[in-house]
Every structure is written in C-alpha cells, then in structure tokens.
A = this chain, B = another copy of it.
Amino acid sequence: MEILKVKTRKRKEVVDITADVERIVSKSNVKEGICFLFVPHATAALTINESADPNIKTDFLESLEKLIPDGIWRHDRIDNNGAAHLKSAIIKPDLMIPIKDSRLLLGTWQAIMLCEFDGPRERKIYVSFLK
C-alpha cells in the first residue's frame, strides 16, 4: 500500500489527483487489476468526474452547498463542520478504478477527485492494488 499526501488550500475544494494516482500505478508493476483508493478522513471524500472544465468542480461544490448548507447542524455546536461530515458520508471515502496495460482505465472525461469539505489540511489517500 502506498500513501498519497495532498495539501488542500481552501475550506472547500475539489482536487484532481489523477496524475498522482497514475504515477503510483506506473511504479506498481500492476498490468491488469484494480486500484483501490481510500481517504481516512471524516470530512473528505473521493469521487470521479470531469476535470477539463474547471466549472464542474465549482458546480459540484455549490450543488452540495445548496443541499447540505453550513451552520444548521447539531454537530456545528461542537466542531462547526457538520456539513463537511454529512457531505463526506454521502460521497463516501472509497473508490475503485480498473487498471489495464499498467494504466488507470478511466473514460476520456473522467478524473479522480479528492473532495475537501473542511480544509485547508494535509490529506492522506491510501492506494492499494488488487489483481
């Protein structure tokens, strides 16, 4: 298992980590199999979507903002990050991607997105392989 570390820069941010994961896949010598990603944090999550148009990242953060607004949750009284926990529980911390010919088998418009909902922080992503 490898650990990928990513420093997020904003309170809420979507970071494209595709190139970082691809680099770990290249070094792994796994030709065909599955890449398993897991973020061990309760206010961050992982998903896949388009990165070419950066507006999608903004739309994604804003759509979640409308659905799960800040500042109205019970947990806010303790940590003031209730919405971050809820968004993370909906998007979930686990993600699987197929590998073929030693590369991630993503679609043309797919990129791996680290969802930061309570940054800025240094986040870890565990990267494992299954054959």
Contact call B96/A36, Cβ cutoff below 8 A? yes
Q: List the B side residues contacting A38 at CB < 8 Å.
A: 96-98, 105
Protomer copies: 3
Digit string of A35-58 for contact with B (CB within 8 Å is 1, else 0)?
Answer: 010111110000111100101101
- CB-CB under 8 A for A105 and B126, given A38-B96, A42-B48: yes
How many Å lie between the Cα of A106 and that of B106 in the bound state? 26
How many A residues face the partner with a CB closer than 8 A?
Answer: 52
Question: Does residue A122 face the partner (Cβ distance < 8 Å to B)?
Answer: no
Q: List the B side residues contacting A12 at CB < 8 Å.
A: none
Main SS class of interface, A: mixed
How many Å lie between the Cα of A79 and that of B55 in the bound state? 11
Q: List the B side residues contacting A40 at CB < 8 Å.
A: 105-107, 110
How many Å lie between the Cα of A48 and that of B40 in the bound state? 10
Question: Does residue A6 face the partner (Cβ distance < 8 Å to B)?
Answer: no
Query: What would be 17 A-B contacts, judged by CB atoms less than 8 Å apart?
Result: A34-B128, A36-B98, A40-B106, A41-B110, A42-B109, A42-B110, A50-B85, A53-B75, A53-B79, A55-B77, A56-B82, A56-B89, A63-B73, A89-B113, A90-B91, A94-B96, A94-B97
